[in-house]
Amino acid sequence: MHLDPIFEGKRVLILGGTGSLGKTLVRRTLSGELGTPEKVMVLSRDEAKHHDMRVSYQRRKIATDDVTYNNFLRRLEFLLGDIRNYADVVSAVRGADIVINAAALKQVPNCEYFPEQAVLSNCIGPANVVRAIREHNLRVETVVGISTDKACKPINVMGMTKAIHERIFHAANITCPQTRFICSRYGNVLGSRGSVIPLFHEQIRSGGPVTLTVPEMTRFLMSLDQAVDCVFAAIRHAEPGETFVPCMSSSTVLDIAKALIGDRKIPIKVTGIRPGEKMHEIMISVEEAPYATRRGDYWAIRSLLPEIYALDAAATPEMTSEYSSADHVVDLEGTYKLLERHRMLLDQTAKSEGVELFESAAAA
């Protein structure tokens, strides 16, 4: 059963489309679940990833869902360029109806040590998208920014730059009123590059120890496909300036490690919190809570800008406190079930990346 055919006949541009999330976005967009796009364009600065991804589709004899092999050759286009470069962005965005920005520097320690690089990718890049649409009066229908729970009350550079990314897109609804700018915000994506799951498995294969920062630290967890579900839900339902947040469970890093280790005699070593890390992540702050409204399996945070949304002071808010990973923690058994629920999809995605995420650990 297909959902609203919002991609039908559209030209979809995925910035950073060769990354873990970007590749899943490409696969799902080409699947036809939201309609068959006229073109899917992938902008990335990594020519090696371009080549590997292009070859993987050319060799695929059975395409995703109902899109055939020949359609991939017609519909999937690779653009070599950098979101930091304004000319590259103009060239790519000029031919797009829908733009999804998955290009970012996302690893917390790297952003701490190279903050100027994080600003260039996570702030200047999105600003280039807005500038291209505004200065060239481009008729882009929708732009979606991919954000993170770390953007909520940020204490690290990655979160700070992603928070600015969100605000750049929110404000763009005023300066580019012909385009709908929206965002999606979610927690740790299992199986993405830099995820703790592949690190834990590498340590387990090596006989340990499995290294934890702080055992009581909690994190929201979701699969790559759930992340794409959130993006697609925002495209289908978000109003201008809204940020979509999924309703999610969280686990402690200790329970994640125990669930992956299973019955194996692998030691656990506590290393201490890393620069810029939080003990618990917040998905919606108490300041944003009055602007949050429930939409099925998601929360929609309306823009704080009064030109976009005027808060009714007399209305009773649906959310009155912050949405924190500390408040939605499942136990060890729940963590087993959470990982098992995602195992099949994660294994499929991971094998395409050359990584075994779960082996038999989730069932141990």
Residues noted as catalytic? 150
Residue type for position 247: C
Nearest to 343 by CA among 234, 245, 262: 262
Helix ranges (H only) for the chain are 20-30, 47-58, 69-75, 86-93, 108-113, 115-119, 125-135, 157-175, 196-205, 224-237, 253-261, 332-352
Q: Do 242 and 302 contact (CB within 8 A), yes or no?
A: yes
For the record, the structure tokens of 16 come out as 């950073």
Residues 15, 17, 19, 23: is their CA dihedral positive or negative?
A: positive
Residue type for position 290: P
Helix, strand or coil, per DSSP, at residue 12: strand
Phi, psi of 236 (to 5 degrees): -75, -35
Q: Do 220 and 281 contact (CB within 8 A), yes or no?
A: yes
* Residue 152: half-sphere exposure toward Cβ, Cα within 13 Å: 25
